[in-house]
Structure 1
Amino acid sequence: MKPAAFHYERPHDVAEVLDLLAEHGDEAKILAGGQSLVPMMNFRLARPEVIIDIGVVPGLDHLVTHEEYVAIGTRVRHIELEQPATDGPLGSILADAARHVGHLPIRLRGTFGGSIAHADPAAEWCLLAQTLNADVVVASTRGERMIAAADLFQSAFVTSIADDELLTQVRLPCLDSDWKTGFSEFSRRAGDFAVVAVASAVRLVDGRIAEARIGAAGVGAIPVRLSQTEMMLVGHPLGPETIDAASEVAGGEVDPRGDIHGSADYRRDLVRALTRRALS
């Protein structure tokens, strides 16, 4: 199928993008890599009146490490994160997750910010943003604001980004050498959407877990933090017994719906198995 007719805009700076968004509002869609938007348009699931292509807008494709966070520009490609793009545990978990994103052509064209804004409940980057307490920076002609990941994802494919706002960067906290990260995902075939995915980050002090962040995707309308599992981990050594116990808590904490890809019980079992792998 082919998309419905639309007007194409190719702005050359952020200010021009924001002016176009202010003018067209919910009639416009941002085109970054197009790996989600274009298929939806071809199937007539999305019929924007205006496409705003940000492919040549400068300043949106940088990854910059600051003292407390790493800023990933909205147009950074998935492929750029397959090799650790920053030092330490954060670079490791980004690389682990990036290798699960779609097929190679998708990773070559698709963008980090585009995936976050699309808000697919099974998307790897949405899961990491939720798990690591990311901050999402958006801009409009009204100014700039920052949205915490916990406030960003509203439902499947729905975020709190306004129609006239552009996602410009995502800020992930730097993780020092005390942190240990992990990422594990199950999909039916390589490159398919995740049935379930789990991300973990634990901070060890004197051999015991001082802080834990565990998240799961594919178990609801948005990626979720497993708060009970996090609380259970704190104070314990990161050994086989702790990991087994945490995996059981994680499986009991989620309340997924069954679908054609797997029953609710099947997804709970996946959460148990993937939590064990992520923590190991």
Structure 2
Amino acid sequence: MSEVHPTAVIDPSATVADGVHVGAYSIIGAEVSIGAGSWVGPHVVIQGPTRIGADNRIFQFASVGEQPQDKKFRGELTYLEIGDGNTIREFVTINRGTGDGGGVTRIGDDNWIMAYCHIAHDCLIGSHTVFANNASLAGHVEVADHVILGGFSLVHQFCRLGAYSFLAFGAHVDRDVPPYVMAAGQRATPRGLNLEGLRRHGFSRHEIRELKEAYRVLYRSGLRVEEAAAELADRTDPAVAALATFVRASHRGIIR
């Protein structure tokens, strides 16, 4: 059975699975689904349509699934989807999608989202990411798996953060950050590879050596971005190939 505090308000159309805890004065709105084993603290507001998977933890004063902060939004049917095993800390705000922006904000599994973070409409977040306090995403941002965002980092709309990339404290990102790259500064620039992150996630010495050479080609060879990406596309290492694919697919351009 679910454990729902008597002061909590749950809309009749909401679905709360067995084993879900809902704390005092929390509000679960219409068309919200919460999976088994999830924990919702006190004073949390969850609006729908929102689907939340199993074993998530949502702490007090979070606002999840509210309407997007977009003047073009006219009440159209849009969604928020959250996977399993995520931690969403105090005062985090996560908005639903917009009708002309894909219609859905999506968050994967096992993400750690610290206090005061903001995830705007139509963002697509992978799995195993870390958002340090006050990290904020504008609309339509894509964050791949295993990305770390430092405290107070900001990401401009339509930017992409590649897998295993790392944003330093206070980084302001206005272009795409390629996979495996560290970014820092008020207008974020590349600061080498995320070597510690690569080692922690089991990248071999050979893979890291290949990525170091790829970084040299991309950032230190004097080649234009298109030329560097074309050269990297011929490499056989899968991690380098993924880097080249990301760069060639960039619409906003990459940090340089």
With normalisation by structure 1, the TM-score equals 0.31
With normalisation by structure 2, the TM-score equals 0.33
Relative CO higher for 1 or 2, CA cutoff 8 Å, sep ≥ 6?
1
